[in-house]
Structure 1
Amino acid sequence: MSVGSMYGGPIGAGQQGLTLVELMISLALSLLIVLAATATFLSSKNAYTANDDAARIDDTGRFALEVIARAVRQAAYVDWGGNEAPAVVQPSMSPSMEGMDARRLNSSTVGMTSPQTQSVNGSDLLSIQFFGAGDETMLNCAGFPVPGGQRGSSIFYVARDESGEPQLYCKYAGDTGWTSAAIARGIESFQVLYGLDTDDDGMPNRVLNASAINALDDAIVDTGDSAARNAKTHWKKVVTVNVSLLVRGEADTDARGNDASVTYDLFGNDYSDGHGVDDQGVRLRKEDFPVSARSRYRKVYSTTIQLRNATDGANR
Structure 2
Amino acid sequence: MNAPRPLARQGGMTLAELLVALALGLGVLLAGGVLMIGANRSYVAHEDAASIDDGGRFALALIGRAVRQGAFVDWERLAGAAPARDLPAPLAGLDSRSLVKTSAGIDNPVSTAVNGSDVLAVRYSGAGAAPDGDGSVINCAGFPVHEAKEGWSIFYVARNGDGLAELRCKYRGTSNWSADAIVAGVDGFQVLYGVDTDTAPDGVPNRYVSASALAALDAALPLAGGGQAELNEKTWWKRVASVQVALLLHGERPSAAPVQPGAYSLFGAAYGAAQAAGDEGVQLAAADLHGRVQTPSRRLFTAVFAVGAAQP
TM-score range, shorter chain: 0.7 to 0.9
**Residue-by-residue CA offset, 1:205-259 (whole Å, 9 max, x unaligned):** 121011111122223379xx544433332111111111111122222233247x5
Retained in 2: the 8 A contact 1:100–1:124? Answer: yes
Number of the residue aligned with 2:197: 198
Aligned residue pair count: 300
Number of the residue aligned with 2:278: 278
**1:66 equivalenced with 2:38 (yes/no):** no
The letter for the 1-side match of 2:42 is: A
Number of the residue aligned with 2:185: 186
- Work out the CA distance in 1 between the residues paired with 2:84 and 2:60: 26
Number of the residue aligned with 1:97: 91
251, 254, 279: which one aligns with 2:253: 251
SS of the equivalent of 1:271 reads helix
Number of the residue aligned with 1:114: 108
Number of the residue aligned with 1:307: 307
Change (3 A) 1:87 1:112: farther
SS of the equivalent of 2:50 reads helix
Retained in 2: the 8 A contact 1:87–1:149? Answer: no
**1:32 equivalenced with 2:27 (yes/no):** yes
Retained in 1: the 8 A contact 2:250–2:291? Answer: no
The letter for the 1-side match of 2:142 is: G
222, 228, 232: which one aligns with 1:230: 232
Retained in 1: the 8 A contact 2:71–2:307? Answer: no
Structure 1 unmatched ranges of 5 or more: none
The letter for the 2-side match of 1:234 is: W
The letter for the 2-side match of 1:296 is: P
- Work out the CA distance in 2 between the residues paired with 1:300 and 1:59: 13
Change (3 A) 1:153 1:6: farther
**Residue-by-residue CA offset, 1:26-84 (whole Å, 9 max, x unaligned):** 32222211110011111111112222222222221111111100100111422002375
Greater mean deviation of Cα atoms: 122-131 or 20-29: 20-29
What is the TM-score with the length of structure 2 in the denominator? 0.87
SS of the equivalent of 2:299 reads strand
- Work out the CA distance in 1 between the residues paired with 2:107 and 2:44: 42
Deviation at 1:147, TM superposition (A): 0.6
Number of the residue aligned with 2:214: 213
Change (3 A) 1:249 1:221: farther
SS of the equivalent of 2:75 reads coil
- Work out the CA distance in 1 between the residues paired with 2:298 and 2:271: 20
Query: What is the percent sequence identity of the aligned residues?
Result: 42
- Work out the CA distance in 2 between the residues paired with 1:50 and 1:6: 72
Retained in 1: the 8 A contact 2:252–2:292? Answer: no
Retained in 1: the 8 A contact 2:276–2:283? Answer: yes
Change (3 A) 1:292 1:153: closer
Number of the residue aligned with 1:269: 269
What is the TM-score with the length of structure 1 in the denominator? 0.86
- The root-mean-square deviation of aligned C-alpha atoms, in Å, is 2.5
- Work out the CA distance in 2 between the residues paired with 1:140 and 1:111: 13
- Work out the CA distance in 1 between the residues paired with 2:148 and 2:159: 34
